[in-house]
Structure 1
Amino acid sequence: MNAREEQMLRKAVSDATLACIHEAEVFLPPDVKAAIAAAYDSEADPVARGELANIRTNISEAERLNLPLCQDTGIAVIYMTVPHCYPVHEADLREAVYDGVRRATLSVPLRPNAVDPVSRQNSGDNTGVAIPPIHIREGSDLTITVLPKGAGSENVSRIGMLLPSQGNEIPAFIVETVLLAGGRPCPPVVVGVGIGGTFDHAAALAKEALLLPIDVMDTYEMEICTAINNLGIGPMGLGGSTTALAVKVKKAHCHTASLPVAVNIQCWACRRATRKVSL
């Protein structure tokens, strides 16, 4: 790949990042919209039904006005797949993504959210030291997936290092996490769960679980989701039968003496988008 081709590819990655962020911030995925609509149809509590109606209006107005679904446009968590032996350095791909984030900050627009953790100085463009986080894996195509993550839901997420003998207590830990969160993450929420791996791996699995479609849950996920909805927290924490739209679980093998469990909560605006990069 010559210099001109490399420049074209970097621009294509930047363009795809910008397009992904715009799509994720403005247009809620169809499976999430369907889950919110189903919650509205089944909700009997008038206050909860009113809140779900407001959410649905929010969704349609964002689409109509081509503006972000929420004032907290979050931190863009980036997932990339890169073909084996792709003739571009990883550092160049990362810088192209950063460029796309900076452009999106101005054009979408995004609220500048990235700050130094100690001084709290804002970078002004949603980039900074190791931000946005970029996860790169091998794949058949060069793709970019964006998961905007707001602070309201991120701040109530939790990780626990359970004992191996506590496997049957995992659902209770997840439900307790949502109970402690209450209305702060703007329910109805999507609950991403990572089970196994190591301390850091479990947290990564929990966030990746939020990328999974929510229109299908297995028996284990459904039982946990039912228990969460029985809490009665409801939309925006004002009561009702829908506290969680879905629970999604990702697992990894772990050490025989360990059982990490991470819960990464996402608000009703479970935003995500994917683009394939091509020249």
Structure 2
Amino acid sequence: MTSAFKKALDSGKFVVTAEAAPSKGTRLEKMQHHVEILKDKVDGLNVTDHQSSVMRYPSLGGALLVKEQGGEPILQMTCRDRNRLALQADLLFAYSRGIRNVLCLTGDSVMLGDHKEAKGVFDLDSSQLLAAIRTMERGKDMAGNELDGGIEMCAGAIVTPEANPIEPQMIKFEKKIEAGAEFIQTQAVYDLDNFKRFMDYARRFPVKILAGIILLTSAPMARFMNKNVAGVVVPQALIDEMATAPKGGALRKGIEVAGRMIRQIEEEEICDGVHIMAIGKEEVVPEIMTEAGLL
């Protein structure tokens, strides 16, 4: 059965997704609150998988929570923590419980997280995971064994348009599409002129592109991302604009900036939609969408 998210992608509409970050523990009330706020406003809710290598409630459990609350889950799966047996088993379980969308990620280094003594697995990378999904859809596992019931997933991956140099990203981008990616969510983009140049290249491929929009909450946050987050470049003009916010008004300024960027992306038809990442402040996503003219 085709997922609602897949139908949205295929419809030609401007697609909007957001994130529902699992908690670090079993108290899920905050995540449930965010799901309730967002489920009827976006086309899909990504559930992150130990984002930045920080141990949290599992993505699979969070995706089930989204579904139970009537939302459209997009299951994130990283290859960092599980080998091919566990990844395939999780896909079978997810499909059996009605989850039909998956975002395939290789995963951040464990050195970025809170369990630096953990061993990264990386048995597969994201392209190989995409290929495994397509193999399982044909009724076989990665070893060529017959499955007693396969899967059907709307599968996607990520790209970093601001990477420098960009050529390795382009190679990975094409490899992911060849492996079966139907949609691509980008790392945060802030320089839309540069993103347009990337899209001139990306439009040659049969894949839907959702621009990643990370909410800026202060000028120091923007500077921190420039210094510490690979592939994210916040132009100085935006940092200066964030710095003009009055005391207590930086979040409101960030919402205005995100909304303005989304509005431009939609009006100029730069790509097929956006993926809004309001890290830790998911409750303001409707305000961003309102600022963008989407609500």
Q: Under a length normalisation based on structure 2, what TM-score does the superposition of the two structures give?
A: 0.31
Larger Rg: 1
Normalised by the length of structure 1, the TM-score is: 0.32
Tell me: higher relative CO, structure 1 or 2? Use CA pairs within 8 A at least 6 residues apart: 1
